[in-house]
Amino acid sequence: MRFIASLIEKLQRHPKRIVFPEGTEPSVLQAARQFYALRLGAPIVLGNRARIQQVALEHQLSLDGIRVLDPAESDDLENFVVRYNRLRRAQGLQDAEAREAMLQPNYFAAMMLAMHHADGLVSGAAHTIASVLRPLFQIVGHAPGTKTVAGCAVLELENPRFGEEGVLFLADCAVIPEPTVEELAEIAVSTARLARHLLGTRPRVALLSFSTKGSAQHESVGRVQAATALARQKAREQQLEAAIDGELQVDAALMPELGRRKCPDLALPGPANVLIFPELNSGHIAARLLHHVARAELYGPVLLGLDRPAANVPRGSTAWDILGAAAIVGVQAIHYQVLYPGAGASLPGETRS
């Protein structure tokens, strides 16, 4: 929890507005209450007002300091419907369908985020990742100069030997089932940039495989090798100082002494703090396995490559899980332009300059 505590301190100095679309979920209300109590900013919860009040009463939660917003009663609904209609007109969207979409909390929250009515978004405690991602893709979209959206799980382990004093960034754990070479490289650089932003240290990035430096031959190995070279090139072009190596087996990445036995010219000066998985299955399984078996705290996945900061938490997340994701998203929002220059410059339904 040292990692999240450090983010909480930063956010207390630069409070942000975080929207939680799942306002009728007890764990979400608890997280929103903690967000306010810790002076991290203004939590906004969406949903039927009467139902939210009932849930708060049943769980003895105060709504003081929490903005409760019912999309159906919002003064912004008509404007949001018009803007969403502009975005989706080419797909044949009808006015009634646009209104129906904007009455859904995840869509309304995505529009709030895109319109700068909120600084960050956290959802997923009661929804599938598809129902969280779809409105974000349609309304918020990609950050300028970015083609790939991915999910980065941030884990904090009890053993400080691994990662950065126990903190590991794992990607992609949420979005792309079988990334291309270009996508893998962009995921590696985006995750490294996030790690640098949150940790303040030089990222040590390992692109993982079942092979270390050609110890096995397979199409997937060649893909990781090519992605490693491209990630290094992208990092240089973006002036991102990061140590990037691959293809590496996970033990070689996490334990440099073993890694150097397998690969004397290992480019990582210490244990990797960023792990890039070759495809979604392995990333998702590893994150959940570490969370449940190794008792690691898991936050996110944080969504990389969007025009505005957001996170998708797993269904059934605790209040602490949700609060941790909100803290990460809030700290991202402080200097999101550093992560993605030009992000948030245009509004939905407007032509990006």
% of residues, the chain, pLDDT over 70? 98
Q: Say how far apart CA 271 and CA 291 lie, in whole Å.
A: 19
Please give the pLDDT value at position 214.
Answer: 67
Please give the pLDDT value at position 150.
Answer: 96
pLDDT band for position 351 (cuts 50, 70, 90): low
Specify the pTM: 0.94
Please give the pLDDT value at position 216.
Answer: 63
Higher model confidence: residue 210 or residue 55?
55
Q: State mean pLDDT over 295-319.
A: 94
Rg (CA), the chain: 20
**What is the SS3 string spanning 224-263?**
HHHHHHHHHHHHHHCCCCCEEEEEECHHHHHCHHHHHHHC
pLDDT band for position 246 (cuts 50, 70, 90): confident
Residue 244: closest CA among 221, 222, 275, 209: 275
- Say if residue 334's pLDDT is above 80: yes
Give strand pairing partners of 207.
246, 276
- Say if residue 210's pLDDT is above 80: yes
Please give the pLDDT value at position 1.
Answer: 62
Cis status of the peptide bond prior to 119, with omega within 30 of 0: no
pLDDT band for position 74 (cuts 50, 70, 90): very high
Average pLDDT, the chain: 93
pLDDT single digits (tens) 94-133: 778 889 999 999 999 999 999 999 999 999 999 899 999 9
pLDDT band for position 237 (cuts 50, 70, 90): very high
Please give the pLDDT value at position 136.
Answer: 97
Q: Say how far apart CA 345 and CA 353 lie, in whole Å.
A: 9
Element (H, E) at 292: helix 280-292
% of residues, the chain, pLDDT over 90? 82
pLDDT single digits (tens) 158-207: 999 999 999 999 999 999 999 999 999 999 999 999 999 999 999 999 99
Q: Say how far apart CA 194 and CA 304 lie, in whole Å.
A: 8
User: Between 219-237 and 181-199, two packed helices, what is the crossing angle to 10 degrees?
Assistant: 50
Please give the pLDDT value at position 353.
Answer: 42
Q: Which two tokens stand for residue 10?
A: 């930063």
